[in-house]
Structure 1
Amino acid sequence: MSEAPFYVSPQQVMKDRADFARQGIARGRSVVVIGCAAGILIVADNPSSPALHKVGEIYDRIGFAAVGKYNEFENLRVAGIRYADLRGYSYDRSDVTARGLANAYAQTLGTVFTQDHKPYEVELVVAEVGRSAARDQLYRISYDGSIADARCHVAIGGDAEAINEVLDQRWRAELTTPAALALATQALAESGERTEPLDADDLEAALLERAREGRCFTRLPSATVRAHLEQAG
């Protein structure tokens, strides 16, 4: 007598994949993306290696931040650069937008989540700095391809919910770069995922500068991060 075939409902398969991806993402240290007067600041709790970046540049006014499995989000970052370069070359540089890039990432992650055996253990933020703060764009893309349009600030990875609560309470539109960096650092330190105080050497930071023409992405070295934190008091 043959045994009945093993059956798992589609709902259970999707739930298991979602749980697997969320657990992998939660193990990673957090990233904060926060708007300020000078532009959009991206701050990552990343003490492990100065070479394995969680924060990167995609195009002229567009930045990228990620948490989760490094090789997976690094492949996505490189794919995003290729997408932006091809679109900018084929059409116009102004046609490369954070919204278009976020949609491309969502399609990729959604396809992997539904069709592959293992989902990507990643969460992304695509940020585009506008000519004014009202035109800034922040998109949070989850492991399953869902997109959330964030306003002013967003945190991903680790205890993102607690970090977002801190940002909701303390964020102000007129924050200077040192003040925004101090707020991001405080939120990361208070999230409960660290047992020691955060130092400048523990942080990876970059700024999408609103006033710059062309490439707006500037990576902040540890000395600059330390000076900003000291200035903020």
Structure 2
Amino acid sequence: MTMPFYVSPEQLMKDRADFARKGIARGRSVVVLAYDDGILFATENPSRALHKISEIYDRIAFAAVGKYNEFENLRVAGVRYADLRGYSYDRADVTARGLANAYAQTLGTVFTTESKPLEVELVVAEVGATPAEDQVYRLSYDGSVADEHGYVVMGGQAEQLGSRVADAWRAGLSLAEVLRLAVRTLGAVGVDGQVLAAGSERELTPNQLEVAVLDRSRARRAFRRLQGAALADLLGVGHGTQDAGTTGAAGGDDVPDEG
């Protein structure tokens, strides 16, 4: 009779956490920044079909890094949760806090009971009537939730990029200012995934970016995407035509295995 191979609970949890962190680190970063009239989301993503930033409900948005198929399932579940709660009770009862709690339960259950954790990290954000009422929650692969203020950076090299954002971000910045900060931060990661020295950031074009905002000035549905001429104008660059290779699958986060 063979004896079963024993692994301590501590080692099992550590192995699952290491596995999830490595998967998340392979994804391109997402930057979330508060500005005077709302919340901005930006990531490097040449795909126009596979989004990493999406609307969940009237004033709630979702951003993710990691495996596309895994966080897309979570996004769809979040939309269903919001629609059902808004229909059953009231649209005002759908909040980012409630959605974050639902996601935390799902992520935590998978992490502790399944053989493979979800290789995802999420941000759920809700824009309020004033900046003080904005809510931004960051959820990790193990279901832990952090209440963030001002900015969030997720994905590969998040700690180093986060320190750069912390040095440059301040309350009350305009949309154009936070967008330029986000693009500089995303461009600080080289094609090999390493952080570049200050001043040597890559120049990212509008066609390489996925950008959206929660605009508090809109009456109900606050989410809108920034693309094309509107995005180019905010970045202060010419509209031009799409760069070669930026409209299809070009590796990295725009393929289904990595988000």
TM over 0.5: same fold? yes
Greater displacement, 182-191 / 82-91: 182-191
**Are the counterparts in 1 of residues 206 and 227 from structure 2 also a CA contact under 8 Å?**
no
Greater displacement, 145-154 / 193-202: 193-202
Aligned to 2:204: 198
Match for residue 100 of structure 2 among 92, 97, 102: 102
Q: Report the structure, 1 or 2, having the larger helix content.
A: 1
Deviation by residue 1:186-214 (Cα, 9 ceiling, x = unmatched): 11112453784222111100010011111
Q: Aligned-residue CA RMSD in angstroms?
A: 1.3
- Are 2:13 and 1:7 equivalent residues in the alignment? no
- Are 2:27 and 1:28 equivalent residues in the alignment? yes
Report deviation, 1:102: 0.3
Match for residue 207 of structure 1 among 213, 217, 220: 213
* Distance in 1, Cα, partners of 2:90 & 2:172: 32
* Distance in 1, Cα, partners of 2:109 & 2:230: 40
* Distance in 1, Cα, partners of 2:132 & 2:69: 34
**Are the counterparts in 2 of residues 46 and 204 from structure 1 also a CA contact under 8 Å?**
yes
* Distance in 1, Cα, partners of 2:137 & 2:176: 24
* Distance in 1, Cα, partners of 2:2 & 2:57: 56
Amino acid at match of 2:31: V
**Are the counterparts in 2 of residues 203 and 222 from structure 1 also a CA contact under 8 Å?**
no
* Distance in 1, Cα, partners of 2:12 & 2:101: 24
Aligned to 1:123: 121
* Distance in 1, Cα, partners of 2:225 & 2:28: 19
Deviation by residue 1:25-44 (Cα, 9 ceiling, x = unmatched): 00000001100012000101
Report deviation, 1:160: 0.9
Q: How many residues align?
A: 229
Match for residue 51 of structure 2 among 50, 53, 61: 53
Deviation by residue 1:99-138 (Cα, 9 ceiling, x = unmatched): 0000000000000000111110000000000100011110
* Distance in 2, Cα, partners of 1:92 & 1:191: 43
Equivalent residues in 2 for 1:20-99, closer than 5 Å: 20-47=19-46, 49-99=47-97
Match for residue 222 of structure 1 among 228, 231, 244: 228
* Distance in 2, Cα, partners of 1:159 & 1:33: 15
Report deviation, 1:223: 2.4
Identity of aligned residues (%): 62
Amino acid at match of 2:15: D
Structure-2-length-normalised TM-score: 0.86
Amino acid at match of 2:214: L
SS at match of 1:88: helix
Deviation by residue 1:61-113 (Cα, 9 ceiling, x = unmatched): 00000000001000000000000011111111111000000000000000000
* Distance in 2, Cα, partners of 1:46 & 1:222: 14
SS at match of 1:111: helix
Unmatched runs of 5 consecutive residues or more in structure 1: none
Structure-1-length-normalised TM-score: 0.95
